[in-house]
Structures are given as C-alpha cells and as structure tokens.
Amino acid sequence: MTNTSQLAPTQPIEEKSYDTIPYGSQSIAYTHPARMAAVAYLFGLTPPNVETARVLELGCAAGGNLIPLAHGYPQARFVGVDISGVQVAEGHTHVAELGLSNIELLKMNIGDIGADIGQFDYIICHGVYSWVPEPVRDAIMRVCHENLTAQGVAFVSYNALPFWHLLQPLRDLLIHHTAALEPQLRAQSARTLIQDLTQLPAGLGADILRNEARLLASQPDFYLIHEYLEDINHASYFKDFVTHAHTQRLAYLSDVNVGWTLPETFGSQGAELAYRHGAGDLQQTEQYADFIFGRRFRQTLLVKRDNGERIRRVLSVDCLDQLHFLCCSKISKQIASTISTPMRQAAQPEVWFRRADEAVVVTPESRLATRALEYLAESPTAHLSTFTVDELVQHSAQSSTWTSEEKSEVAEWLLDMLLQNHVEIYFAPIRSQMLSDKPNASSLARSDQAHGRRFTANALHGTYSFDEGDKLLLPFLDGTHDCAALEAVVHAAFKAGALSLSYKGQALNMNDDAASAVREYVQAHLQRLESARMLS
Ligand SMILES: C[S@@+](CC[C@H](N)C(=O)[O-])C[C@H]1O[C@@H](n2cnc3c(N)ncnc32)[C@H](O)[C@@H]1O
C-alpha cells in the first residue's frame, strides 16, 4: 500500500508557520507608492504615475497593505504574492467584501515568480527579506530587477546590523525556552517569560534583556512568534544588503524616509564622525551611521542600475516642483528654533545633500520662511491634506504673484523641513478632511468596520485601529448625518446599556441626564477621527 504521507510534497517551513499563526496584515504608511515615487523624483528620476501604476507586493500576507491601496487607486493594478494559503484566502475574503476588481492575491512562492507575472512600477517587500532562506532572498532581489519597469522603484525592508545583534540574546533565550512546545503554545510561554524579564534587576546582561523585554511586552502574539521565534532571522549590514542588490543589477536610491539617511538626524557629533570616516562616500557614510547610531531596521528603496546612474544627489529647490507636502503633525511655531541651523550646511560637499546653490542660506530671519512657518502653524489642514510649493509660496508671499527668488526662499526652507522630518513628501495628492457638519469617513473604513475587522487604513495609508466608538458611529459617518443625529445614536446606546459614559469624572447611571456627556463623547470621537486622518 502506498504511504501517501511519504509522497506528499513537504510544506515549506515558512508556509506552515504563517498558516498556523497568520501575521497581523495591515497597511504600512512607508510603503505607499506615492512616497516611494516622491523620493525617486526628489533625486532626479522620473517615477511612474502612481494613479495608474502596476504594484506588486512580495510576502503580502492577507493583503492588509495592498488592499487599501487598491481601494484608493481604482485605476492602478495590484498583485500580491504570499506562500501562505491561509493568509491569501483571508485576503480574498477582504477583497470580496470591498468588491475590488483591480487586485489579485496569489498563493505562490516568491522563488517561483517569473516573467509571466508581468512588469511592475512599484514592488514592495516589507518584513520578508530577513525572515526567509538565502535562495528566497536572492529571488527577492531577482524579482525586484526582472519584474520592475525601467523607471520603477522597489522597497525592501530588513533588520540591520550591527545593532540587531542586541536582540539576539533575547531571541536565543525565547527560542530555548519554548523549543519543546507546539506553535500555538509558544507565544503564551514566551510572554510569561518576557514579563519576568521586564523585572530583572540591573546587571550587564540583565539590562539588555530587560530593556528589550519591555519593548516586546506590548507586541501581539503574531509579532512575537514571527519576529523572535522563527528559525530564520537574518539581519544584514547595510553594505552587504547593497552589495546583494548590486549583484542583481539594482542600485541603492535612499531610505524611504529621506531624513533618516542624513547622519545629522541622529546627532551632530556622531554625524561628524560618520562623515569623516565615510570620506565622501555615500554608502560608507550610511554604514558608519548605522554603526554609530544603532539603526536596527532599514526601509531601502532600490532602482534598476541603468536608472540609478541618473540619480542626482545634489538637492535643489527645482526637485520640489511636482511634490506634494504634508506636515507630519500639526506644527507649532517653535519649530522655528530647530530650523535655525540648516543641517545641509553641515554635510560635506562630496556627500549627497549638498545644496545646488550654496549662496542661498535659509535663516529664521528669512521673511518668507517665517511667514511660511506661520501659515503652516495656523493652517488647520496642513497635516490633513498635501500642499505644493506654489501653494505655500502663494500663502507666504500673500499674493497670487511672486518672484522666483521668493519661491526659492520658501522652497529652501521646505527642503530643510523635509530633511528634518517635519514634513513628508508624496508624488500624488493625499487628502483627509476636517470635521464638517455632516462628517464622512472613507467607504474603506466603514466597510472594514462593518465586516468586523480590527483595523483599517487612514488617508496616509497608516494603520487605524477601531475602538468602541467606531462601532457605534462609523456606520453613520457617511456624510448624511449631522452631530444631532450622531448624538442620538450614542444616547440610544447609553440608554440601552450598551455604552458607559462619564461626565466630569463621574460615571453616569442610565437615569442620569446624559446630554452633555453624549455631546462630549461624540465631539471627542470625531476629533480623534479627524486627527487620525480618517475623515474624507
Ligand atoms: C513577517 S510577514 C510580513 C507580512 C507583511 N509583508 C507585513 O509586513 O506585514 C512575512 C510574510 O512573508 C511570507 N513569505 C515567507 N516566505 C515566503 C516565500 N518564500 N514566498 C512568498 N511569501 C513568503 C509569509 O507567509 C508572511 O506572510
């Protein structure tokens, strides 16, 4: 008799692992193609139009990152690949809930991807490279070259050395502690140990374990299991990662967060060291910065080598014209003091953030830069919807006409703001709205909430976790209900005993007059949605 179990093909270890404990698949703001494209444009390349792009994600889990993008860009096309059938099936359910026809999720090994899957303008591979065997890492680089269009951009994230080494004692301990257990029991056992470790008294090894354990204690089980307990966790030096990319004819573009490639971001003394020992070489300087500042994770953008030859690392204000800017958070005028020392002045001329026009010096005394800052600080929407340089100049010059010198003055300041991580850049407009009389949440958020999902994506493609208030209010945030109608919903839930309310620190009983508490609850919830960029 044939022994079928002996003949059955072995299930790859990664497939089994993620089938058993699926990853918490969600949107990752940095992987937004409009951000990848913006960096390419900033460095002088010609990235493909995001609105009509073809986007591939490698290791897409249940599509939690790709599906919101497919919802937001109906003219673009999306393909996700993952080895775990359980996760891909979950992704199919999500796609069907939203009725999307511009996305395909395929159960497939990255190593099996060939030319037939097509060419893509943007390839995303987040949280995969460090957790797969060498042949799959090679395949990731191969696909990022073979399946990328000439002007395309690939995103690959990975655990960075040497500072990932600091996590190794904790990883080794957790693996040792849980080795004999079934996968489902390992997270619980590891969690109990982690709690103990958070209480360790001071001591050389204990300090490392305790600090890491404290960071890990609040992470969900899927993260614990896949980040710390997987058989493979291959962290890389930046220089080795870039060398690996070169073998597949890919060139290093930048970190997706441009400011993070500037050593000054992490402190001026260390930056001086990184520049000195980097000796004018971009990759050496970034590697020294990793040694000095302790980066553990990198989000690297790659382009094809031929395209890479066109990268222009001397930033000038002309690089900003087609970009859309967003304040990372509501800014205050205090930022003025931090922009008084333009970081790019500290950069050595041979390195990459040199100004094209050294003569233009942005100082806080600059009349227009000060006005631009005041405008952004006063604007209620500068952190909700993108603005262009021209729009900012118009507001700063307080006129619909301005001189090219005036524009340069504002643009120089904005470039400093970008390099100091006060603003983000996109290659397409991004819009979320302020609270209005009849607030509207995106149809994605309403659908995700209605289908019992735990999180959704906001306008920036960041993860938004639903809470109790969303359950009540989101179904009514469709632009047809005013605050009085929303208050009636909350009031009814309170009277039905489905919601507890308090007012001025006192819990209310069902018979209390709850009108003020209800109004406060609704306003607080709508404010939360507005600042989380959830209103459309
Ligand atoms: C740590 S998870 C990251 C998921 C998602 N990219 C994210 O960042 O949230 C790694 C994913 O890669 C998938 N994966 C691992 N090896 C793979 C392979 N050889 N081919 C395709 N997918 C793979 C796993 O199934 C899992 O969904």
Of residues 204 and 223, more confidence is placed in 223
Q: How far is the CA of 85 from the centre of ligand 1 (A)?
A: 11
| Alpha carbon nearest to ligand 1 atom 15, residue | 14
Most confident of 152-166, 211-225, 277-291, 495-509: 152-166
Whether the pLDDT of residue 265 is over 80: the answer is: no
Whether the pLDDT of residue 491 is over 80: the answer is: yes
3-state secondary structure of 94: helix
Other C-beta atoms closer than 10 Å to the C-beta of 97 total 15
Alpha-carbon separation of residue 41 from 107, 300, 322, 486 (angstroms): 33, 15, 8, 44
Q: How far is the CA of 161 from the centre of ligand 1 (A)?
A: 21
Q: How far is the CA of 59 from the centre of ligand 1 (A)?
A: 4
| Max Cα-Cα span within the chain | 88
**Counting atoms of ligand 1 from 1, which one is nearest the CA of 111?**
19
pLDDT at 120: 98
| Alpha carbon nearest to ligand 1 atom 9, residue | 25
Whether the pLDDT of residue 106 is over 90: the answer is: yes
**Counting atoms of ligand 1 from 1, which one is nearest the CA of 136?**
19
pLDDT band (50, 70, 90) for residue 115:
very high
**Average pLDDT over every residue of 504-529:** 92
Element (H, E) at 153: strand 148-159
pLDDT band (50, 70, 90) for residue 12:
low
Whether the pLDDT of residue 516 is over 80: the answer is: yes
Give the number of residues written for the chain.
536
**Average pLDDT over every residue of 135-155:** 98
3-state secondary structure of 144: helix
Q: What's the CA gap between 45 and 43, in Å, rounded?
A: 6
**Average pLDDT over every residue of 343-348:** 36
pLDDT at 318: 83
Give the phi and the psi of residue 64 in degrees, each rounded to 5: -60, -25
Spell out the domain ranges in the chain. Answer: 13-160+235-259+296-308, 163-228, 317-426, 443-531
| Alpha carbon nearest to ligand 1 atom 16, residue | 14
Low-confidence winner among 68-72, 99-103, 215-219, 417-421 (lowest mean pLDDT): 417-421
| Alpha carbon nearest to ligand 1 atom 14, residue | 59
| Alpha carbon nearest to ligand 1 atom 24, residue | 59
Residue ranges lining ligand 1, Cβ < 6 Å: 14, 18, 23, 25, 59-61, 81-84, 87, 109-111, 126-128, 131-132, 136, 226
pTM of the model: 0.90
**Counting atoms of ligand 1 from 1, which one is nearest the CA of 157?**
8
| Alpha carbon nearest to ligand 1 atom 1, residue | 127
Exposure string (b/e) for 4-43, b if CB count within 10 Å is 16 or more? eeeeeeeeeebbebbbebbbbbbbbebbbbbbbbbbbbbb
| Alpha carbon nearest to ligand 1 atom 4, residue | 61
CA angle 90–96–99, rounded 5-degree value = 150
Q: What's the CA gap between 373 and 383, in Å, rounded?
A: 13
Whether the pLDDT of residue 144 is over 50: the answer is: yes
Encode pLDDT of 386-443 as tens digits.
Answer: 999 999 999 888 777 888 888 888 898 888 888 877 789 999 999 999 999 999 999 9
**Counting atoms of ligand 1 from 1, which one is nearest the CA of 61?**
27
Low-confidence winner among 138-152, 361-375, 479-493 (lowest mean pLDDT): 361-375
**Average pLDDT over every residue of 374-396:** 90
Three-state SS string across 230-274, please? CCCCCCECHHHHHHHHHHCCEEEEEECCHHHHCHHHHCHHHHHHH
pLDDT at 13: 65
Pocket residue to mutate for ligand 1, from 15, 21, 23, most atoms within 8 A of Cβ: 23
pLDDT at 441: 97
Whether the pLDDT of residue 343 is over 50: the answer is: no
Q: How far is the CA of 533 from the centre of ligand 1 (A)?
A: 28
3-state secondary structure of 466: coil
pLDDT band (50, 70, 90) for residue 222:
confident
**Average pLDDT over every residue of 204-233:** 87
Pocket residue to mutate for ligand 1, from 82, 123, 224, 230, most atoms within 8 A of Cβ: 82
Mean pLDDT score of the chain: 87
Pocket residue to mutate for ligand 1, from 20, 83, 110, most atoms within 8 A of Cβ: 83
Whether the pLDDT of residue 364 is over 70: the answer is: no
pLDDT at 535: 96
Relative to beta strand 463-465, strand 455-457 is: antiparallel
Element (H, E) at 158: strand 148-159
Alpha-carbon separation of residue 191 from 187, 230, 380, 484 (angstroms): 6, 15, 43, 45
Whether the pLDDT of residue 344 is over 70: the answer is: no
Encode pLDDT of 283-303 as tens digits.
Answer: 899 999 899 888 899 999 999
**Counting atoms of ligand 1 from 1, which one is nearest the CA of 12?**
19
Q: What's the CA gap between 201 and 209, in Å, rounded?
A: 10
Most confident of 177-186, 342-351, 408-417, 497-506: 497-506
| Alpha carbon nearest to ligand 1 atom 13, residue | 59
Whether the pLDDT of residue 71 is over 90: the answer is: yes
Strand partners, 387: 325
Find where tokens 């002309």 sit: 318
* CATH classification code of 13-160+235-259+296-308: 3.40.50.150
| Alpha carbon nearest to ligand 1 atom 19, residue | 109
